Amino acid sequence: MIGVALKGLLGRKLRATLTAFAIVLGVAMISGAFVLTDTLGKSFDGIFDESYKATDAVISSKVAIETADGETEAPAFSTAVLGDVENLPGVRVAQGTIEDEASLVDKDGETIGRTGQGVAMGVEPTDDQSLNPFQLVSGEWPSGDGQIAIDSATAAKEHFEIGQSVGAYGDGPLETYEITGIVRFGSEGSLGGVTVSVFDLAIAQRLFDKEGKFDLISVGAEEGVTEAELVSQIDPLLSETMQVKTAEAQASDDSADTQDGLSIIKYFLLGFGGIALFVGSFVIANTLAITVAQRMRELATLRTLGASRRQVLGSVILESLAVGLVGSLIGLFLGLAIAVGLIALLEAVGIDLPSSELVFSTRTIVVSLGVGTLIALLASLRPAVRATRVEPIAAVREGAVMPASRFARYALPVSATVGVIAIALFSYGVFASGVDVLVRVVVLVAGVLFMFVAVAMIATRVVRPLAYVLGAPGARFGGTAGSLARQNAVRNPARTASTAAAVMIGLALITFVAVIGQGFKTSFTGAVDELFVADYSVSAGNNGELLTNEAAQAAAKAPGVEAVSEMRSGEAKVDGKTVLVTGVDSNLTKVIDITWSSGSDSVPPQLGRDGAFLVKRYADDHSLTVGSPLTVKTPAGKQLQLHVDGVVDPPKGGSPFGEISVSTTTFDGAFANHDNDLTLLNMEGGPSAENTAALEESLTAFPAAVVETREEFKDTRTGEITQSLQILYALLGLSVIVSLFGVINTLVLSVFERTRELGMLRAIGMTRRQVRRMIRHESVVTALIGAALGIAVGMFLAVLTTAALSQYGIVFAVPYGTLVVFVGVAILAGMLAAILPARRASRLNVLEALQYE
Amino acid sequence: MTEVVVQDQQRAPVESVPVVSGASITRRYGEGETAVDALRGVSVEMMSGKLTAVMGPSGSGKSTLMHIFAGLDKPTAGDVWISGTAIGELNDTQLTKLRREHIGFIFQFFNLLPMLTAKENIVLPLSIAGEKADPAWLDELTASVGLQDRLTHRPSELSGGQQQRVAIARALVSKPTVMFADEPTGNLDSKTSSEILELLRNSVDNYGQTTVMVTHDAHAAAIADRILFLADGMIVTDLGPSTSHEILEALEGVTVR
């Protein structure tokens, strides 16, 4: 029997191949996600290990509190401790350094790479450099003002040589330095494509506002002193706010953030792989259901020859398992290839990985093959059970039909129940408050999956009317072929429904994302329109980076500037909960139109050292009113005792304020970061070409600064949303492609089934062209049914979600243009899916087809 | 094994005993006003080592009778025994096992599996049962149906007559208690038909293979040891060996009634 099942599969290679593709793409995504993130992870670990290769212990400041974004930098500490450390018996060498961010500028004056991605280091040139992760390749360590050493990769790429000058900027304005040395990171030479700027220690301390301080002291032990012994020697010398770790521990702490980031990417990609596999399971189940129906006589013959129901069940499941395993294997290696391609792409855009050794772990193989095969197994269960219902007598009866499923008559109540459960789960997921994030995600995912299953079940009943409407244009203008196509689409409503259901899933998710994205955009632009009364904004653009406050000061000197208001922010904790604290200045109300719940525009200028204003939602949630005391703990270890001076009610779609706003003076005293998120300006005469030019002129020393009017500000920020949407479309598009294989499969099988009929149509005068058109129209009608169902389901989910998110200002906004594009894509997809089946149908030999049994 | 028992029965052609029998079989399709009685109280025994032909006009119930005797369908009323087992009480698994051990099939449309070779199709009943074919028996069988040099071909590479030979070998391979042939020549030209009929007759004569054949064709029925005529769900005539001319006359009598 095993032989029969496998031979049967080989006898239907095309179908088996198309079905395997339902698995291949999803598994490729999974294996690709694993390989990519594992490889990147190992590569970054390599960087961090290399950083402390020669070092035995590392002294740094503690981050007083852990905040969610993990980006909060530890404050620098006094250089005083270095002397004590050097005097310890176990210490061979100790080197204090400054580690910060700086960007280099190429010969055209453009920032190399992205702003904020360059590494800056300050080292004492006379020090023993044995612990320094950077080694001099040529030249000398920079010494004193105006000198810099840069990395060999950047030097080579941008054609810099020793003795030439290069522009660099960190927290301050752009300055020109003379290159005195070329350095290399460890043995690799490159730090994942980032630029490296090494300054004299004293210069770096001044440049980054860290006079008299170090960010890090690297310590090397005497011969025979272990890392642990060294750490225990150093520890007693340190104050409360400082810490010492073994080099190994420091490296793994340093890499933790990167690894966390990578694991988010990994689960994100795995999620989309999962969606593609879910769609794939529909395709497999549908294909098997059709072939079981077509092979009814064969199955019945097997039964007359003594095959038991169990053997029939087994043969169908085995067939699917074989397809699943082969598909998973192909997917596994396709994923590997995709990962290799992506890594090559990263290198092509300049993100060189220090070690591009591919990590292809056992876990990747086991999970990829396991999940793919399991999905195929699950998808085969229902068709396999139906196959056992084929009575042996069907072997001798002409035109026997598949017995109705035992559950067929319960289909409506069952699908209605599943639908209700789905809506209940989804609503709970979006509306319930105080639920653990993991529980919420699980409930939401379950709700969406149930929703798809329910709609797929109900779809059988709506296929007829939908096909009638969606097939109307084809029937109207496609002649006989068009109207036959429409009728063909509803000949077997269950088949068309489940084929369309696979298309539906991808489109529902894409529609959902599009509608939610539009909601974000609409509410954001609404908020900007309401708040933003400034003429200009100056920021580091839309990349989320900060812009040094010196840029704001420079912009303030531009001719015609009437008011400048800086805004910066940082995460802090109140009663152990993370809040965002904004630093604002007295000009705030001139550039932002604030709606006050309590207080007035006179509040911001009078905040002083301990005043704060809150956003209304936070104040309400914590029963805070004007006069309430508030204690805020910052990552720099400062504790702020504040009192509430006012409550603002900003539009929900895009508030520039964190939960708590304080004066910039208070902010700067409590946070290590003094750079701005945003600087808003008013200029005489409002936005104009002259004013823009004047502002840009004043900011030439700050290559990272971007000057924008209100409209430009809106465009770049919503452009960010559009960009994320496009990534999501691309990832979800994968599941649409999977569903296309389902459409192809169904059509190929239908053509096969209608061989005699196609022969007859050709015999009575239908041209090949007409045959092709007929198949193409049927395909388009099926795809359109999927699109119609998908758009409806996606909209429905979006309505629920926006209702739940309305407290955050997300509105329900339909991106009509985008939806029209989706429908167009569905039509195109239907046409593509029809190419192969249509060709097969049109090439049938008429005589043979007529005699086909 | 049962196999052995079957063999013993077949090797004792001297004494003909009933191997399949039915008592007052009624088969009703549908319910109420639209109900159709395909069989109306048929009692008959199929004797071992004999070739019995079942004839009758369309709708006479001959196919239904065969389906019931082969364990493919169950009577609405009445009892059926296959090789001494009453099938009325059997569940699907038991019935499957019974078919596997006692019944062989030959179909009008051959019903070969297209992806298997001729040989694989022939041994299919054995491989389904998880058994191995006795090579000597397989050689003898393929030689007797004249397929020695066609064994590696697939059905699509065989003529209709060759396909039906494969089907006959497949039915014989497990040495069933009774072999049913449903219009075995219905899809073949007259020359090929004669060859197939000769093969069927030979299997009865050489192996003592009990065979029940449903047919429209008087020439086919002429090779039978016994010919049953059905009309309106009842057996109306029961002839011994007859010429095709006699059969046609009998059939005419049945149809005119």
- pLDDT at position A723 is 85
Query: Is A566 within 8 Å of A676 (Cβ atoms)?
Result: yes
Would you call B128 and A1 a contact, using CB atoms and an 8 Å cutoff? yes
- pLDDT at position A193 is 73
Contact B156/A at CB under 8 A: no
Confidence of residue A128 (pLDDT cuts 50, 70, 90): confident
Confidence of residue B3 (pLDDT cuts 50, 70, 90): very low
User: What number of other Cβ atoms are within 10 A of residue A53's Cβ?
Assistant: 12
- pLDDT at position A351 is 67
Tokens describing residue B215: 């047919």
Tokens describing residue A526: 């609404």
Query: Is A300 within 8 Å of A309 (Cβ atoms)?
Result: no
Bridge partners for B81 per DSSP: B21, B86
Contact A529/B at CB under 8 A: no
Radius of gyration of chain A (CA): 33
Would you call A396 and B99 a contact, using CB atoms and an 8 Å cutoff? no
Q: Mean pLDDT over residues A287-292, rounded?
A: 88
Report the residue of A2, A14, A304 to disrupt the B interface, i.e. the one with the largest count of B CBs within 10 Å.
Answer: A304
Confidence of residue A16 (pLDDT cuts 50, 70, 90): confident
Would you call B107 and A396 a contact, using CB atoms and an 8 Å cutoff? yes
Q: Which residue has the higher pLDDT, A852 or B155?
A: B155
Range in A146-150, A259-263, A495-499 the model is least confident about: A259-263
B:26-45 residues touching chain A, CB 8 A cutoff: none
Alpha-carbon gap: B31 to the closest alpha carbon of chain A (Å): 18
- pLDDT at position A6 is 74
Q: B160: helix, coil or strand?
A: helix
User: What number of other Cβ atoms are within 10 A of residue A425's Cβ?
Assistant: 20
Q: Mean pLDDT over residues A815-839, rounded?
A: 93
Would you call B113 and A306 a contact, using CB atoms and an 8 Å cutoff? no
Q: What percent of chain A has pLDDT over 70?
A: 95
Per-residue pLDDT at A837 exceeds 90: yes
- pLDDT at position B12 is 45
- pLDDT at position B1 is 35
- pLDDT at position A542 is 67
- pLDDT at position A543 is 67
- pLDDT at position A42 is 86
Contact B111/A at CB under 8 A: yes
Per-residue pLDDT at A530 exceeds 80: yes
Would you call B111 and A853 a contact, using CB atoms and an 8 Å cutoff? no
Confidence of residue A708 (pLDDT cuts 50, 70, 90): very high
For A424-483, how does the pLDDT look when each residue is reduced to its tens digit (9 = 90+)? 998 888 888 777 878 888 888 899 999 998 998 888 888 889 988 998 888 888 777 888
Separation CA A271–CA A26 (nearest Å): 10
Tokens describing residue A752: 């096969």
- pLDDT at position A400 is 64
- Compute CA distances A124 → A100, A263, A272, whole Å: 15, 37, 49
Per-residue pLDDT at B2 exceeds 50: no
Per-residue pLDDT at B220 exceeds 60: yes
Alpha-carbon gap: B108 to the closest alpha carbon of chain A (Å): 8
A-chain CB neighbours of B97 within 8 Å are 306, 308
B:53-72 residues touching chain A, CB 8 A cutoff: 63, 67, 70, 72
Read off the DSSP letter of residue A369: H
Per-residue pLDDT at A499 exceeds 80: yes
Confidence of residue B46 (pLDDT cuts 50, 70, 90): very high
- pLDDT at position A793 is 94
- pLDDT at position B8 is 43
B-chain CB neighbours of A8 within 8 Å are 113, 115
Q: Mean pLDDT over residues A129-139, rounded?
A: 87
DSSP for A214-228, written as a single string: ESEEEEEEPTT--HH
- pLDDT at position A277 is 92
For A757-786, how does the pLDDT look when each residue is reduced to its tens digit (9 = 90+)? 887 778 777 788 888 999 999 999 999 999
- pLDDT at position B74 is 86
For A72-83, how does the pLDDT look when each residue is reduced to its tens digit (9 = 90+)? 567 788 888 888
- pLDDT at position B164 is 92
Query: Is A521 within 8 Å of A810 (Cβ atoms)?
Result: no
Per-residue pLDDT at B4 exceeds 60: no
Separation CA A303–CA A312 (nearest Å): 8
Q: What is the mean pLDDT of chain A?
A: 86
Alpha-carbon gap: B170 to the closest alpha carbon of chain A (Å): 9
Per-residue pLDDT at A199 exceeds 70: yes
Report the residue of A295, A305, A309, A313 to disrupt the B interface, i.e. the one with the largest count of B CBs within 10 Å.
Answer: A305
Tokens describing residue B110: 């051959």
Q: What percent of chain A has pLDDT over 90?
A: 30
- Closest chain B residue to the Cα of A392, Cα to Cα: B72
Q: Which residue has the higher pLDDT, A499 or A673?
A: A499
Find the DSSP H helices in A538-615: 549-556, 588-591
- pLDDT at position A582 is 93
Which amino acid, residue B122? I
Nearest neighbour of A8 by CB, restricted to B115, B125, B174: B115
Separation CA A709–CA A323 (nearest Å): 57
Nearest neighbour of B111 by CB, restricted to A3, A8, A297: A297
- Phi/psi for A478 (5° steps) reads -95, 5
Place of tokens 């212990």: A57
Per-residue pLDDT at B5 exceeds 50: no
Q: At what angle are helices A710-753 and A816-842 packed, to 10 degrees? A: 20
pTM (2 d.p.): 0.80
Separation CA A646–CA A654 (nearest Å): 19
Per-residue pLDDT at B11 exceeds 60: no
Range in A31-40, A417-426, A475-484, B83-92 the model is least confident about: A475-484
- pLDDT at position B212 is 95
Range in A70-79, A588-597, B3-12 the model is least confident about: B3-12
Q: Mean pLDDT over residues A263-281, rounded?
A: 90
Contact A753/B at CB under 8 A: no
